Structure 1
Amino acid sequence: MRGFHSKLDSASMGGVAVPLNLAVETEKAQALLQTFSSASLLASAGLGLFCLLADHVLQAPFVLQHVWLRALLDNGVHGLIGLWSWAIVIGLRKKSDFYEVALAGFLASIIDLDHFYLAGSLSLKAALNLPHRPPLHCSSVIPVLCFSLRLLMWALRLKDSWCSLPWMLFVALASHHVRDGTRHGLWLWPLGHTPPISYWLYVTITATLPHLCSVLMYLTGTRDMISTKHGVAIDV
């Protein structure tokens, strides 16, 4: 009888496991599809339009005549692109989401401080006339920094609620580098520099980067953990 009950329990457990697994896979598929929802695609189109308008403003004669103003506006555009990109990735559903996108914007803009670090001065003229590009503008450091942050989180045993940080850093750095790449290309140490990125390719990459990040997060299982944190499937 004990063997009979064991087989019956196993069968009943198996009967429950299949629908549960099916439900989990269905939820994952829905989360991936929502990465390309109409709302997220519209937000990406808006991001591309913002890039066009922002760069048009930066070319205005009044802005070009004031070096500090142009530098501040240019840095602000970097921050807004990073903020907007991360908002597309996670959506805006509760108060903590706004903190996340604000942090992404901060990370995307703070990179430019390495200009002053390399110049060894707070002089904007010195920061803009460097003998070579500063360290955080080397695109090869992006995977290194993101992977190092992931290892640090694992070593500190941080909760799953922090699992999105390496991806946030990736979006912030990559969006900054791609935008700068229209002027100087990408610095891929030790391979050298690429030719400057064409302007329309920059707009296209910027608009699609959040979706690429979302797909990579899905493939690595990070999106599932974030969906649990947010309580719903993530979209915009």
Structure 2
Amino acid sequence: MPHCHIMVYMRIVLTTLVTITCLLGDNFVELTQHPLLKALADNATHAAIGALTGIAFAVQFYERTSQLFGWILIFTCFVVSSFIDLDHFVEARSLYLEDATNLSRRPFLHCSSIVLIMLFFFLCTACLNYFRTSLMLGALLCAFITHHTRDAVRRGYWFCPIGHTDRIPQLAYILTTILTPHVLGYLHAICRSPIVLNFVGQYVKLSESNYRSGGGINSYRYMQV
């Protein structure tokens, strides 16, 4: 079966699974009354969405990475999507669920300004050809963007120190969740395009002789990592 057909089928399957997970997970959380079960269901939904978006991101690079590293990317997105909510307990300075879920303000890892900083470094590492580092940042971005977007349905995005946006519609949340890994993959491809690489290379690439002689503290080498 042609490679393009496989990718199309995978995208259809992953899109369907993400949509189902978003709808079922959110409905289950709304219908659940027990605080502990509600918190577990909410976090499990975050983790499941993270795993699916991690797969959607990793499969775009499976021909250029090892199978092990692909699984690392997926596992990273899965774990981080879940562990972001640990900042509730850090902010509450308590291990009790009641304290963690009744905060007077949103905890630090829920600040979406973090996403903008991570996106900047993602683009920089992709342009400078730090390949694995850029993919790891891409997996982290998938985790943070999908987590923050799901929370934005209820509270909006929080861009500190500017403030909060309005709550987003559920359709926008689902579409953003579906598109996030593909948009990041597309941005990575743009950063790896010959035009961008040639432009960046003019400023950061040293000749081999200059590198060996030690070009000084202000010199840079174009890394192939």
Q: Same fold (TM over 0.5)?
A: yes
Aligned to 1:83: 51
Deviations 1:129-162 (A, max 9, x none): 11111111010111224545888x89xx996333
Distance 1:215-1:35 versus aligned 2 partners, 3 A rule: farther
Matches within 5 A, 1:172-183: 172-183=143-154
Q: So what's the TM-score if we normalise by structure 2?
A: 0.72
Query: For the Cα contact (< 8 Å) 1:178–1:202, is it kept in 2?
Result: yes
Query: For the Cα contact (< 8 Å) 1:35–1:214, is it kept in 2?
Result: no
CA distance, structure 2, for counterparts of residue 187 and residue 158 of structure 1: 31
Q: Of 96, 120, 125, which residue of structure 2 is paired with 1:123? A: 96
Q: Of 29, 35, 44, which residue of structure 2 is paired with 1:67? A: 35
Query: For the Cα contact (< 8 Å) 1:108–1:176, is it kept in 2?
Result: yes
Q: So what's the TM-score if we normalise by structure 1?
A: 0.69
Query: For the Cα contact (< 8 Å) 1:35–1:215, is it kept in 2?
Result: no
Are 1:144 and 2:112 counterparts? no
CA distance, structure 1, for counterparts of residue 190 and residue 6 of structure 2: 12
Are 1:51 and 2:19 counterparts? no
Deviations 1:1-21 (A, max 9, x none): xxxxxxxxxxxxxxxxxxxxx
Query: For the Cα contact (< 8 Å) 1:54–1:77, is it kept in 2?
Result: yes
SS in 2 for 1:37: helix
Among all aligned residue pairs of Structure 1 and Structure 2, give the percentage whose two residues are the same amino acid: 29
Corresponding pairs, count: 186
Q: Of 66, 70, 83, which residue of structure 2 is paired with 1:97? A: 70
The aligned amino acid for 2:103 is L
Distance 1:96-1:167 versus aligned 2 partners, 3 A rule: closer
CA distance, structure 2, for counterparts of residue 142 and residue 115 of structure 1: 18
Q: Which structure 1 residue ranges, 4+ long, deviate > 6 Å from structure 2? A: 33-36
RMSD, matched Cα = 2.9
Q: Of 159, 172, 192, which residue of structure 1 is paired with 2:163? A: 192
The aligned amino acid for 2:41 is L
Aligned to 1:169: 140
Distance 1:73-1:130 versus aligned 2 partners, 3 A rule: same
Alpha-carbon deviation of 1:215? 1.0
Structure 1: unaligned runs, 5 residues or longer: 1-30, 223-236
Structure 2: unaligned runs, 5 residues or longer: 194-225
Query: For the Cα contact (< 8 Å) 2:47–2:79, is it kept in 1?
Result: yes
Aligned to 1:210: 181
CA distance, structure 1, for counterparts of residue 165 and residue 130 of structure 2: 39
Deviations 1:83-140 (A, max 9, x none): 1001011229634423321111101111111111111111111111111111110101
Aligned to 1:18: none
- Structure whose alpha-carbon radius of gyration is higher: 1
Query: For the Cα contact (< 8 Å) 1:146–1:169, is it kept in 2?
Result: no
